[in-house]
């Protein structure tokens, strides 16, 4: 017996496929080659890009800024898009980052770290007017705002 698919059935199948595939790409592990000198820890911070030290993470609640040793090209694509300084999408990215120290802490010196993961990311555009927004693929389903019916 041959099953037939209606247009609504195809749309539903596509929606289910996208719902399962898209979050997996956002949750992919960030690569970190050097071994950490201390255990990794989850820290709330603001990730930014600028000239000089390419990627910086401000550890919110402190005056501490750390330099990321991660290769920009190895970051998830949706994160790369917001860190490209020449893009209209250039933004700050706030969230909970898994930070692995690559060298001991020395007072008044920027410490090199590697980020191995991130969740609950919020993007604050720098070049376009508009409010910050959640990168939904990094948020657990229970923490996502309900969709507004139209």
pLDDT tens by residue, 6-47: 544 443 333 333 333 333 344 556 878 888 999 999 999 999
pLDDT at 15 (0 to 100)? 36
99-144 pLDDT, tens per residue? 999 999 999 999 999 999 999 999 999 998 889 999 998 998 876 6
Any idea what DSSP says for residue 150?
Answer: -
Q: List the domain boundaries for the chain.
A: 29-140
CB within 8 Å of 135: residues ≥ 6 apart: 26, 78, 79, 93, 95, 121, 122, 123
Given pLDDT bands bounded at 50, 70 and 90, which one contains residue 52? Answer: low
Tokens 């290769």 label which residue? 71
List of E strands, 41-143:
41-49, 55-59, 65-68, 91-101, 111-125, 133-134
pLDDT at 144 (0 to 100)? 61
What whole-number distance in Å separates Cα of residue 77 and Cα of residue 32? Answer: 16
Of 148, 39, 27, the residue nearest 95 (C-alpha): 27
């Amino acid at each position: 017996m041959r099953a037939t698919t209606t247009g609504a059935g195809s749309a539903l199948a596509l929606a289910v496929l996208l719902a399962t595939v898209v979050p997996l790409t956002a949750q992919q592990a960030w690569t970190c080659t050097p071994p950490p000198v201390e255990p990794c820890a989850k820290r709330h911070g603001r990730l930014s890009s600028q000239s000089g030290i390419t990627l910086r993470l401000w550890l919110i609640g402190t005056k501490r800024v750390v330099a990321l040793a991660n290769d920009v090209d190895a970051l998830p694509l949706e994160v790369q898009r917001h860190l490209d300084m020449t893009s209209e999408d250039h933004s700050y990215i706030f969230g909970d980052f898994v930070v692995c120290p690559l060298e001991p802490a020395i007072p008044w010196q920027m410490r090199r770290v590697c980020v191995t993961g991130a969740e609950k990311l919020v993007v604050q555009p720098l070049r376009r007017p508009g409010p910050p927004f959640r990168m939904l693929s990094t948020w657990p389903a229970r923490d996502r705002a309900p969709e507004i019916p139209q």
